[in-house]
Structure 1
Amino acid sequence: MLAVEVYAPTDTDLAITFVDWNPAPPDKEMGLWRDVYFATSGPVAIRYPTVLTHFDSPNNDRAHLTVTALLKNGSNQPVKGTLNGKIENVEFVQDVELASGESKDVTFEPEKFPQLNLAKPRLWWPAQMGTPNLHDLHMEFDVNGKLSDKSDTHFGIREVTSELNANNGRLFTINGKKILIRGGGWSSDMMLRENSQRLQDEFRYVRDMGLNTIRLEGKLEHEEFFDLADRQGILIMAGWCCCDHWEHWARWKPQDYDIAKDSLQDQIYRLRSHPSLVMWMNGSDNPPPPDVEEMYLNVEKQARWPNPVVSSATAKPTSVTGESGVKMTGPYEYIAPSYWTEDAKSGPHHCNPGGCGGAYGFNTETSPGPAVPPVESLRAMLPDDHLWPIDDYWNYHAGGGQFKTIQVYTDALKARYGQADNAEDFGFKSQLMGYEGIRAMFEAYSRDKYTATGVIQWMLNNAWPSIIWHLYDYYLRPGGGYFGAKKAMEPLHPVYSYDDRSIWLVSSQYQDVRGLKLTARIYNIDMAEKFSKEASLDAAADSTNKVFDLPELQDLTPVYFLVLRLEDTSGKVVGSNFYWLSTKPETLDWEKSNWYMTPTASYADYTELRTLPKIALKVISRTERKSEDSVTHVTLENPSKSLAFFIRLKVDKGAGGEEILPVLWEDNYFSLLPGEKREVTATYRAAELGTAKPSVEVKGWNVASQ
């Protein structure tokens, strides 16, 4: 029997916290929350087997593998034995001696074991770049011909490197190819509950949006999380947390140094074998002082951490490693869509070390502000008698510190879209705000790669039902921000630049495409066409190119629309975008910038959208079964001469039933031009239907509900 006595952590313990993300759990996460298990072996156990990769540059067609594992002699006698390894049909063996109670890293170097030099192997790639191929590693330790222990793990043949570009931005490469890091900050469940199905659902959302990275701040997830990232080809940024004893180095006692060192060693050993790990951060909001940073670096070197190490998530340099190559400049509060392109590295703006949040460098956490979910989620988290107007019940689901309310966001919504009449109206207008805000952020960083080298949306998800910082809410309901992100990260993507009215084409795929046609059209609110232009072009792999400028036009209505279409040689649409724009300039008060926001001096005016006539769409749907999933096909047609603006689709469990979640919509919150017809699909687990039949629900800004 093993008895464990636990205490609630205090502010002087190296524990975990949720900072300002959400309320602290009442028990402060005391106790054991991961699986506890015992493993048996002979006198020698194999721990943390790992395969490291180095390529011949620049061709990267030959991989040199280093295999290493920690051996632990649990007996009180010296032991002699053999460590055997096998990777597919490649075998290697080494004699080992261990003293009584000794733990030792044993390594197979490719210089001594030439069979570990592989020509043109199957590589592990992030999903955006290729296939995340995995290989099996089998290891055994024998003593006197008898098996003492064995292990079976998987690994990826891949190499991650980074360098500082001319602007001191940290640029990452995978297997010698550049990658623009685009991701979101992960939050564990507030009660640290683990749910395998939910985890898989959230990773499907990450891939569906086109994100390639998840950032972990302090909460280093369980093995299933990292195994899933390996298989799905999602990169993971990992490191310590901010704002608690982990960064209160001046208050550390001798035992804190020991705990921090041992904790880091355990995590580096545990994580080093996962091909999904792209970097480790030794600090978050601050870099560690020199003695702590040197201690951390020694641990990482001894444990053969194979990936880049960054001193912190900020641009604060250190005397040990110099420039970090990243910035943590915010914003975290509502920000106008033009912010990301107006702020430039060479400009006069200052928010934090590293500048402001504009599209340059590597921004480790940033956001266009609160993320109010659709009304269904508001109804789930708020009591009926506090659903409207906004009150302290709403604010309880906001954040801490400067983020205890969503007043800045609410003021912006009212100025831009008009006073909300009720929770449903406020929730729908919030999806407009989320869509344009998130899209603008990711588009700006994509347009400006590789002056911009990375951006992490703060956050990806929430620990509990929340009205701030997410791309999908706690109930796994994707809203406007989700589809703004998905639109911004489509593989071939036409982009409008808010700063100079230019049109760009961004390719996020790693193949050249020739014979494309990009069309831009501008319409007044009555759908009178005011401008049209076409351009023929090619898109090189992983490229960004300016195509043309839009002219200044006269006689535009206060709200007007920009439609971008990208077609291939067959006429198939391979990229698109739809912007609603205002003739009233949206300006920023840069002089009042601080660490978490830049105030808006004057707002765009979209209130003319209220004049759009009501439209009844033609809707046809059918559902088919594909393995464990159901796929609902929805065909929509706009028979009117007006725009059908910001259409939202749901699939319910029968007419009037609950929305089926999670769900992967091919597209949502989109608009249809007069006479336009379009089919989109929704994919979800068939089991979620139960005995009900799927029922499609259609709503929109000016679309009759059906």
Structure 2
Amino acid sequence: MHLLSRLILCVPLVSAIGNVVVPEWDLQSTAKAGNDLAKLSSAKYDSSSWYSISARSTVFAGLLEAGVYNTNQLFYSKNLQTTVDYLPYYSPWLYRYAFNMVLPKATHLFLQTNGITSKADIYFNGHKVADKKLQAGTYGGHTYDITDIVSGSTAHALVIQAYPTDYNQDFAQGFVDWNPYPPDNGTGVWRDVSFKQTESLFMGPLRIVNDYQPGASDVKVTLKADITNLEDASVSGVLEGAITGHGCKTTGQLSQTFKLGPKETRTISTSATIKGAKIWWPYQWGDQPLYAASASVSVHGSVSDKVDTANFGIRHVTKELNVHNDTIFFVNGQPFQVLGGGYAPDLFLRWDEAKFEAQAQYVLDMGLNTIRLEGKQEQPELYDIADRIGLMVMAGWECCDKWEAWKYNEDVTATLWNDNDYQTANYSMRHEASMMQIHPSMLAFLVGSDYWPDDRATAIYVDALDDLDWQSPIICSAAQRGYPEILGPSGLKMPGPYDWVPPNYWFGNQLGAAFGFGSELGSGVGTPEMGSLTKFLSDDDFTDLWTKPRKGLYHMSTNASSFFDRHIYDKGLFNRYGEPSDLEDYLLKAQIMDYEATRSEFEGYSAKWNADHPATGAIYWMLNNAWPSLHWNLFDYYLHPAGAYFGAKMGSRIEHVAYGYHGGQVYLINHSLDKQGSRKIDMELMELSGKVLSTQTVSADTEPNTSKSVASVPGLDKIKDIAFLRLILSDSDGAVLSRNVYWLATSTDKLEWKKSSWFSTPVSEWANFTALNTMKAASVSATVESSSSTSSSVTLENTADVPAFFIRLNLVDASGDDVNPVLWTDNYVTLWPKEKLSLEVTYPADSGSVSVQMSGSNIGTQQTVNSS
């Protein structure tokens, strides 16, 4: 059993300096196997009857892999709640790995952990290596010297006993009110465990520091590592490094001699200057050149330890507080407006690299530039992907549980920190900083979320980051409540909203509206389309979804959450668009609402980038879901982009023209660093009947990284009920840079700002869009031509005399199932009478024969168009 993977360590590791990752585990509950860890970690113990699982697996993820459960069944309706026996997860679970190895003389062997949720006892060959007091915290990484335990043996066994996670007691990775909790609360070995072999010198993680200042050509790069002498006598050694990539030309020797006393640990460094260094930029601003560094330590010419190749980028990130006490970031000297979303890992903490890569590409496709990890630091590969594609990352600790159990936090019931908790926090910060330090994608680390850490914890965090040569901003929290003196105010706000608000909210001047830096805010939208909904909703769930606004929905938040039903959202939908006639009608109106909501948020923040009180950043709540959910996403769990996605994509285009819901201004927005010159804006206002109310063409000059009001929409006073507004931005050659259509009513959504809660602002009067329900039918033709095995072009033509409102295109395979992930140049579009519009779509190469489904508000039943 497990023969192939165990051959990795079945031979003597002569000269095998470096790391070997535990490739798999045997998994069992202590309720069945007992908790005699000395016996269980004996090489003679037989665990072949246990579950066989992968290296990175929480308990529940391991049981899924072993076939005890499957997510298709669990995610359907309320099955996670009703079909799972939670009792087994109240006991500790055991992870066991057995192997054969002979340790050569004069070498040392270490066991390295990278965080075990939430705490664990570790035994090796019948001996205790660590207990739950030390091996504590989801991010508590440790290195244990097991040389004496392994010496003289050939057969070995490692056992880890993971204790059940309690979010009020433990430093874990929780989900707050995002979704139901996993049955095991994420308990288990969710990151790699590895063995490291060295000779007399041990080398810690490689740190890479550069002195780049914006505009510089030559950059000094320093490689640093903490080196430990493992012997009882002094040892002289040499640290040697190498930097490669992009025709790298360095001056200076990447070599440093040193001498360490018995058992001494000291930071050793070596530097060189890269001539004509290539600079790393966020995706929208430039290229992402990555250099490769490697390092080793040697004694008398023999390598004692080494660090595998690490990729790094050269860039400069800072932040400051402006006159309004709002944080503004600078990347390579350029003011950087953060536009992003809050990331959620998988419910069972399973890492799927291909899925994350698709999610990250979605972020860039929407025109966003940042993801925020609120206590969801994920696997190391996330940062590698972010580096490679130019996606910025705001990491940090989470809210609402043990992480923020301070005396002054009145919102949490977790147990206050004790001395051991501060120790766990220290190990956690140092481990995560070591993992993240080299990555150019790191924008900042937030050492608090809803609340700031107390002074003792802040000092621990800051000292750890300083010791590990952190070169990105440190921010005390995501809110404005308070701050530790050594870090100062956060400059971030989080006053909501988290539930639905109308589009004009974002152009206001209170709470979460477009000014300052909103660290988590959104309209609570993200309704999946039917192809996804049928995978996790039953017939009764569908009925509840559109007919019972105040009924708790299991696929919203937890049952104790303010977001367990859709009554705020549905109140807006029913009052603005009319009571839905059936499920199909409800889902269409939901997509219209979601599109409006996300477009206006990102347009509001983009438009006000250079306002008197500038909008310096917005993190949409949320980017994605941990499981199939009915809200809080820009694309659903199955990677299907819908109304929220395309609203966000429209609102964040790199060059864009947007309508301001307060005052009817037209904003010219430029997120680039290099696009400038003359631009043309065509405005046309049209009634539902097709009658043109006004047209106007405005010329304006655009400047990089700026936004400004350039005109007002004429004819708004002529609207009798509802009108469509089309804005088209073109460059000097006539190429269309942005095409944007709004639906405007004579009535206005009236916000009751003084009655706002922490999660929403009520509306007392509603914009009336019900006339959209009785629009005259349009006639839209579609042709699809395959450009390659991964792309097609779709041409739409409205042959009617009236607008075709909110045309939805969906790519399906030969079985009629949604094709995901998929990238559209635009979607959910509204066509003018006689207008022709061409769109492009790209999709996975293994999609086979694809077709396009077309539906909309006033074009009749759904049509399916095959490729020609």
Which ranges in structure 1 are unaligned for 5 or more consecutive residues? 344-348, 350-355
Instruction: Determine the C-alpha separation between the residues in 1 that align with 2:454 and 2:469.
Output: 22
- Cα separation, partners in 2 of 1:259 and 1:275, compared to 1, 3 Å: same
Equivalent residue letter for 1:312: S
Q: Give matches, 1:168-183, under 5 Å.
A: 168-183=325-340
- Cα separation, partners in 2 of 1:228 and 1:319, compared to 1, 3 Å: closer
Residues 587 and 603, structure 1, Cα contact 8 Å, conserved in 2 = yes
Q: Does 1:521 align with 2:684?
A: yes
Q: Offset of 1:394 from its aligned partner?
A: 6.5
Instruction: Determine the C-alpha separation between the residues in 1 that align with 2:590 and 2:227.
Output: 55
Equivalent residue number for residue 480 of structure 1: 643
Instruction: Determine the C-alpha separation between the residues in 1 that align with 2:671 and 2:265.
Output: 45
Alpha-carbon deviations, 1:569-625, whole Å to 9, x = none? 221111221111111011100110121111111111111001212223111112132
Selected match of 1:268 from 433, 436, 439: 433
Q: Offset of 1:318 from its aligned partner?
A: 2.1
Selected match of 2:721 from 558, 582, 590: 558
- Cα separation, partners in 2 of 1:532 and 1:60, compared to 1, 3 Å: farther
Instruction: Determine the C-alpha separation between the residues in 1 that align with 2:779 and 2:604.
Output: 35
Instruction: Determine the C-alpha separation between the residues in 1 that align with 2:292 and 2:536.
Output: 45
Residues 796 and 837, structure 2, Cα contact 8 Å, conserved in 1 = yes
Q: Does 1:294 align with 2:459?
A: yes
Q: Give matches, 1:1-80, under 5 Å.
A: 1-10=157-166, 11-56=168-213, 59-80=215-236
Equivalent residue number for residue 208 of structure 1: 365
Q: Give matches, 1:625-664, under 5 Å.
A: 625=788, 630-654=790-814, 657-664=816-823
Instruction: Determine the C-alpha separation between the residues in 2 that align with 1:514 and 1:183.
Output: 27
Q: Offset of 1:62 from its aligned partner?
A: 4.2
Residues 382 and 394, structure 1, Cα contact 8 Å, conserved in 2 = no
Q: State the identity %.
A: 35
Equivalent residue number for residue 684 of structure 1: 843
Q: Does 1:360 align with 2:520?
A: no
Alpha-carbon deviations, 1:50-99, whole Å to 9, x = none? 22233346x44443333322324444443210001122343411112233
Q: Offset of 1:6 from its aligned partner?
A: 1.3
Q: Which moved more, 1:496-505 or 1:149-158?
A: 149-158
Residues 235 and 259, structure 2, Cα contact 8 Å, conserved in 1 = yes
Q: Does 1:505 align with 2:662?
A: no
Which SS does the other structure have where 2:306 is aligned? strand
Q: Offset of 1:257 from its aligned partner?
A: 0.7
Equivalent residue letter for 1:703: I
Q: Does 1:133 align with 2:301?
A: no
Equivalent residue number for residue 369 of structure 1: 524
Instruction: Determine the C-alpha separation between the residues in 2 that align with 1:663 and 1:610.
Output: 30
Equivalent residue number for residue 578 of structure 1: 741
Q: Offset of 1:253 from its aligned partner?
A: 1.3
Q: Give matches, 1:282-681, under 5 Å.
A: 282-320=447-485, 321-343=487-509, 349=510, 356-390=511-545, 395-400=553-558, 401-450=561-610, 451-551=614-714, 553-625=716-788, 630-654=790-814, 657-681=816-840
Residues 212 and 314, structure 2, Cα contact 8 Å, conserved in 1 = no
Cα root mean square deviation, aligned: 1.7
Equivalent residue number for residue 146 of structure 1: 302
Which SS does the other structure have where 1:301 is aligned? helix
Q: Does 1:256 align with 2:416?
A: no
Which ranges in structure 2 are unaligned for 5 or more consecutive residues? 1-156, 408-415, 864-868
Equivalent residue letter for 1:94: Q
Equivalent residue number for residue 52 of structure 2: none
Q: Offset of 1:552 from its aligned partner?
A: 5.6
Instruction: Determine the C-alpha separation between the residues in 1 that align with 2:702 and 2:540.
Output: 54
Higher relative contact order (CA 8 A, sep 6+): 1
Q: Offset of 1:319 from its aligned partner?
A: 4.1
Equivalent residue letter for 1:433: M
Q: Offset of 1:666 from its aligned partner?
A: 1.1
Which SS does the other structure have where 1:338 is aligned? helix
Q: Does 1:107 align with 2:269?
A: yes
Instruction: Determine the C-alpha separation between the residues in 2 that align with 1:102 and 1:616.
Output: 79
Residues 50 and 155, structure 1, Cα contact 8 Å, conserved in 2 = no
Instruction: Determine the C-alpha separation between the residues in 2 that align with 1:404 and 1:454.
Output: 28
Instruction: Determine the C-alpha separation between the residues in 2 that align with 1:631 and 1:319.
Output: 52
- TM-score, normalising length from structure 1? 0.94
Equivalent residue letter for 2:470: W
Instruction: Determine the C-alpha separation between the residues in 1 that align with 2:440 and 2:623.
Output: 21
- Cα separation, partners in 2 of 1:523 and 1:297, compared to 1, 3 Å: same
Q: Which moved more, 1:183-192 or 1:250-259?
A: 250-259
Alignment length, in residue pairs?
A: 681
Instruction: Determine the C-alpha separation between the residues in 1 that align with 2:702 and 2:581.
Output: 46
Equivalent residue letter for 1:576: R
Selected match of 2:312 from 133, 138, 155: 155
- Cα separation, partners in 2 of 1:150 and 1:501, compared to 1, 3 Å: same
Q: Offset of 1:416 from its aligned partner?
A: 0.8
Instruction: Determine the C-alpha separation between the residues in 2 that align with 1:645 and 1:465.
Output: 28
Alpha-carbon deviations, 1:231-255, whole Å to 9, x = none? 0100000000100111013411111
Residues 60 and 176, structure 1, Cα contact 8 Å, conserved in 2 = no
Selected match of 1:85 from 241, 260, 269: 241
Q: Offset of 1:518 from its aligned partner?
A: 0.9
Equivalent residue number for residue 352 of structure 1: none
Selected match of 2:321 from 151, 164, 174: 164
Q: Offset of 1:217 from its aligned partner?
A: 0.8
Which SS does the other structure have where 2:859 is aligned? coil
Instruction: Determine the C-alpha separation between the residues in 2 that align with 1:387 and 1:30.
Output: 33
- Cα separation, partners in 2 of 1:74 and 1:650, compared to 1, 3 Å: farther
Residues 278 and 308, structure 1, Cα contact 8 Å, conserved in 2 = yes
Equivalent residue letter for 2:169: T
Q: Offset of 1:529 from its aligned partner?
A: 1.0
Q: Offset of 1:221 from its aligned partner?
A: 1.0
